[in-house]
Structure 1
Amino acid sequence: MIPEHAPFSPDQRQALNGLLAGFDPSQRWWLGGFLSASSGMPAVAAAPASKTPLTVLYGTESGNSEALAAQTVKAAKKKGFKAVLKNMADCQPADLEKVENLLVIVSTWGEGDPPEAAEEFYKSLMESEADFSKVKFSVCALGDTSYERFCETGKQVDARLEKLGGQRIAPRVDCDVDYEELSDQWVEAAFKALAPEPVAAAPVAFAAPAVAGVEYGKKKPFPSELLDKVLLNGEGSMKETWHYEFSLEGSGLVYQPGDALAVVAKNAPDMVEGILSAAKLTGNEEVVLKGGETKVLADALREDLEITVLSKAILKKLLAVAPSDKLQALLGDESKEELKSYLWGRWIADAVRDFAPNGLKADELVSIFRKMPPRLYSIASSPLAHPDEVHLTIASVRYEFDGQPRKGVASTYLADLVEKGGEVELFVQPNKNFRLPASDETPIIMVGPGTGVAPFRSFVEHRGESGSNGGSWLIFGDQRYSYDFLYQLEWQDHLASGALSKLDVAFSRDQPEKVYVQDKMREKAAELYQWLQKGAHFYVCGDASRMAHDVHEALLDIVEQEGGMSSEEATEYVAQLKKEKRYQRDVY
């Protein structure tokens, strides 16, 4: 829009605004260049760059905080700030004492924990006595409202910076998985607080617009063809694990071993029918979604909204549209034990039946949901071995609650609703915290039970294709050898070719006593420690609640035992592995 202070009359501004509204970006660029050239004005802005310094600090688990931080730095530079990007993994609180302006973007992982790579910084900050009295700051916390301790890391960092003397220049924002709108508002508020007066933009040369075409990513997922799906478990298994192959041809999407693939799922018809029945609605009602789009309710429930996962945040929204003394009492439970018990296993439809027995209006129902978040899965293929393809290894989640069948949204969407040749929307989510060593000569140890083996299929394929001479050791575990040895023939081929140097397996239910991957680590303690001493990188992928903890404890014990160290020395040794990025985890 032409601003009022521009040298045009009101009628001229109105005419120009009407004309420019009909132009696309390339037309506006051409017109700007043409007018500059025809008037003899230089094609490069001559305003000096602002000297306002800005540090954007991030702590990331899945990559969202890093991506948002990078976007913030880019936007800051366009505003004229002298902006730099810093990773919590690469700095200490004391490094920030002399920072004048600080924006922090940090995610919360699991039950209120800091991101894996930011653990040391977080711990140091909580114990630090650094002087932040000259630091102006603001915090953007990323999290997931389905967890009890929503955005806990961001809240703690925000409070600690204030306690150390920092001056908060914009309120902290706590963002759910659909964070873009709120984080954009936070960025603008922070920029305005740091530079209330208009700042001069840095010199910018006119450049041609990007070549016309679609750029696929989070904002526009790629509609990929499902090339193949194979059930990996044998008949008689208690598990249902699928191997999926998707086409990336024409997408422009690229990935590296260790990255994740985000799948945009749709809710199953029975899930949609369940919530409609609970709310006493037909599904034919029209609703307005966040952003202003109008849709038929049933379509919105299937395509746009998270309609199953029940959380405290959802219950609060339900209470707002359907007042209930019973629900009020549940939310007010100080011990939280009753609330935790209620949330376990139930879906949103159960809560609607329990606390809104007379049903809800369509707009009331929609108001309690959040946008359907994409599901992230570790990529199970190497781009060198499978050009224009990406593979996943996913266990279908199915269980019963109160005699009723329940299931995971994305895992059963792929298993039940998408056939070979069907279309699935997806995009790549980089994970820079889970990478192969820079040198192919560096040995690697991979611990991955169940579907946790997925990224290691990618690692081994990649090393096989690149002709690596570095040792590769896989420790895999599952329930039964006969039914659950995922990718067994492939591992045998990799052993024969040399892409995989060593394979140890632990099948927990093939003998009276249960044997797990951490038990195999202890059996091979001396050899494992020798690999570490030779510079091996140690990787873990899989369940965070028990497996990752047990593997970590086994690693500490092995280092203490085989290295002849004290408990404190072993802890420091393993911490150093993390600092050197030789100990990396992809756990969930």
Structure 2
Amino acid sequence: MTHDVWRWQLALSVVLVYVCLCLSVWWWRKKSQSLVMVPPQKAWCVAYASQTGHAQALAEQTAKTLQLAGVAVQCLPLAQLTPSVMQQVERLLLIVSTYGEGDAPDMAQGFVQQTLSQRLDLSQLHYALLALGSRHYEPFCAFGVRLDGWLQQQGATPYFARIDVDNQDSTAIEQWRRQLVHLAGTNDSPDWTENTDFSEWILQERQLLNPHSQGAPIYYLQFSSTHPNAMTWQAGDLVQLSLGEQHTPRDYTVLSLPYQQHIALLVRLHYRATGEQGMASGLLARVPLGSTVALRVRQHPSFHLGVNNTRPLIFIVSGTGLAGALVHLRQQANDNHKTPCWLIFGERQRQYDFLCQQEIEHYQAQGIITRLDTVFSRDGQPLRYVQEVLLAEKKELLAWLQQGAAIYVCGSLQGMGQGVDAALKTIIGDDELAQLQRDGRYQRDVY
């Protein structure tokens, strides 16, 4: 009996030590979060809401300009501006994008739900706002306009009128930089164009991937640099194609990895309502092999795996959005890293539109892809679209999420992106999906 009592006491001691350890870790995390999220009252706070990384890059440049002037500054995602933080900050610079049909970027949904819905006394706050958008979409810069109006309704005072940027317009961005230099009280400013120059790349290969398809042509394109090692990137990043000074560069997901020493893309030929080919896709479809085009890499942090690299992964993609999943699968194969991966891919017809089929099936045989679901909308099968797979496999999806899976969605916003979002809300609920976004476990690259 004495021996049994001793064993029970030992077991209880181990449990108590474990509980204390967990509590200490939780306390330190809460403390560190508070230190990160609440800037000193005298410091400037630079907050960003970015979908593809452009707003974040401008925010980092903004913070660097302030630091060069000797100003204390903290740069952080907009989602970290909780109501309590907003009521403490006195100097705030905001750089925010508008996404989709006037929405906030995914990374800002927590701010929209937790802070923008509140009535707060922000009379202590002075702010400036740079709103990014495109006049191709109405309403223009909708999220920036909404945020600006809300801040003034809460009593905050703008340093100067909101600056709206149409498609990365350099004139508007330069206006922001000049205002910033004035606020910082300095004539010195880092070069905002540093490391953003386009470089020449040679078109080596162009392959039509879907001959006889009912849909528009999809091409595999491969470019080599005129200056080896000119650019580097990581899985999830974008490449921009220059169309001249009078036109906005076009973004494409990079399909290749840096060690391959080339840039590969999947591009669908776009047709306008008039029947004319799109400017960027039309150029890439017809420019002769051996020709040079101007490209530059743009970081896309929200579509990097980051800490999700150790989680089970669910890729939901359609059409050329396959590039956003395939590049990560290539990275996993190159690293010999076999975290569970579920790929859901949709297109029109299996016979003509199963893009990169051999590579996908190879990864499935290797165990890089744990589960593969394909749907083809014109083949007459019961399931036609990727969102219908989610609804049909609800129990499986919930099991993966229970195991900590992260979801990555890549493809068209209209139809596919919206349909997947609606399906996920139906399955797990609006609040749960919002929490996945805040945790970085629901990422989208939809266009």
Inter-partner Cα distance in structure 2 for 1:65 and 1:451: 24
Inter-partner Cα distance in structure 2 for 1:200 and 1:235: 60
1:492-516: CA deviations, max 9, x gaps? 1111222222211001111176611
3-state SS of paired residue (1:256): coil
Aligned partner (choices 420, 432, 446) of residue 573 of structure 1: 432
The 1:413/1:470 distance shift into structure 2, 3 A limit, reads same
* Cα drift, residue 151 of structure 1: 1.3
The 1:170/1:375 distance shift into structure 2, 3 A limit, reads same
The 1:125/1:180 distance shift into structure 2, 3 A limit, reads farther
Q: Which moved more, 1:227-236 or 1:509-518?
A: 509-518
Inter-partner Cα distance in structure 2 for 1:54 and 1:486: 48
Inter-partner Cα distance in structure 1 for 2:218 and 2:251: 16
Inter-partner Cα distance in structure 2 for 1:177 and 1:156: 19
Aligned partner (choices 242, 250, 256) of residue 375 of structure 1: 250
Kindly report which structure 2 residues correspond to 1:424-463, keeping only aligned pairs within 5 A, or say none: 424-438=293-307, 440-463=309-332
Inter-partner Cα distance in structure 1 for 2:289 and 2:72: 50
3-state SS of paired residue (2:230): coil
Task: State percent identity of aligned pairs.
Answer: 32
1:160-202: CA deviations, max 9, x gaps? 111111111111111112433322322332443x45xx5699x
* Cα drift, residue 83 of structure 1: 1.6
1:46-71: CA deviations, max 9, x gaps? xxxxx962111111112111111111
Kindly report which structure 2 residues correspond to 1:483-522, keeping only aligned pairs within 5 A, or say none: 483-511=352-380, 515-522=384-391
* Cα drift, residue 217 of structure 1: 4.5
3-state SS of paired residue (1:457): helix
The 1:78/1:400 distance shift into structure 2, 3 A limit, reads closer
Inter-partner Cα distance in structure 2 for 1:399 and 1:86: 39
| Contact preservation (8 Å) 1:437, 1:537 | no
- The yes-or-no answer on 1:389 pairing with 2:278 is no
1:327-386: CA deviations, max 9, x gaps? xxxxxxxxxxxxxxxxxxxxxxxxxxxxxxxxxxxxxxxxxxxx21100112222335x2
- For residue 583 of structure 1, what is the amino acid of its counterpart? Y
Q: Corresponding residue for 1:414?
A: 284
1:177-232: CA deviations, max 9, x gaps? 2433322322332443x45xx5699xxxxxxxx9xxxx9853x2010111211111
3-state SS of paired residue (2:60): helix
- The yes-or-no answer on 1:525 pairing with 2:394 is yes
Structure 2: 5+ residue stretches without partners = 1-40
- Structure showing greater radius of gyration is 1
Q: Which moved more, 1:436-445 or 1:59-68?
A: 436-445
Inter-partner Cα distance in structure 2 for 1:227 and 1:579: 41
**4+ residue segments displaced more than 4 Å:** 198-201
- For residue 251 of structure 2, what is the amino acid of its counterpart? L
1:533-552: CA deviations, max 9, x gaps? 11111111111122112112
3-state SS of paired residue (1:126): coil
Count of residues paired in the alignment: 404
Inter-partner Cα distance in structure 2 for 1:240 and 1:375: 18
Q: Corresponding residue for 1:65?
A: 55
3-state SS of paired residue (1:438): helix
Q: Which moved more, 1:141-150 or 1:473-482?
A: 141-150
Instruction: Give the RMSD, CA atoms, in angstroms.
Output: 2.4
Aligned partner (choices 220, 228, 237) of residue 243 of structure 1: 220
The 1:216/1:496 distance shift into structure 2, 3 A limit, reads farther
Q: Corresponding residue for 2:9?
A: none
Inter-partner Cα distance in structure 2 for 1:549 and 1:232: 26
Q: Corresponding residue for 1:231?
A: 208
The 1:131/1:413 distance shift into structure 2, 3 A limit, reads same
3-state SS of paired residue (1:586): strand
Structure 1: 5+ residue stretches without partners = 1-50, 202-209, 266-302, 305-370, 560-569
Inter-partner Cα distance in structure 2 for 1:521 and 1:189: 48
Inter-partner Cα distance in structure 1 for 2:65 and 2:194: 21
Inter-partner Cα distance in structure 2 for 1:146 and 1:240: 24
Aligned partner (choices 165, 172, 176) of residue 186 of structure 1: 176
* Cα drift, residue 532 of structure 1: 1.1
Q: Corresponding residue for 1:585?
A: 444
Inter-partner Cα distance in structure 2 for 1:504 and 1:171: 50
- The yes-or-no answer on 1:546 pairing with 2:405 is no
3-state SS of paired residue (1:181): helix
3-state SS of paired residue (1:62): coil
- For residue 542 of structure 1, what is the amino acid of its counterpart? G
Aligned partner (choices 398, 402, 405) of residue 536 of structure 1: 405
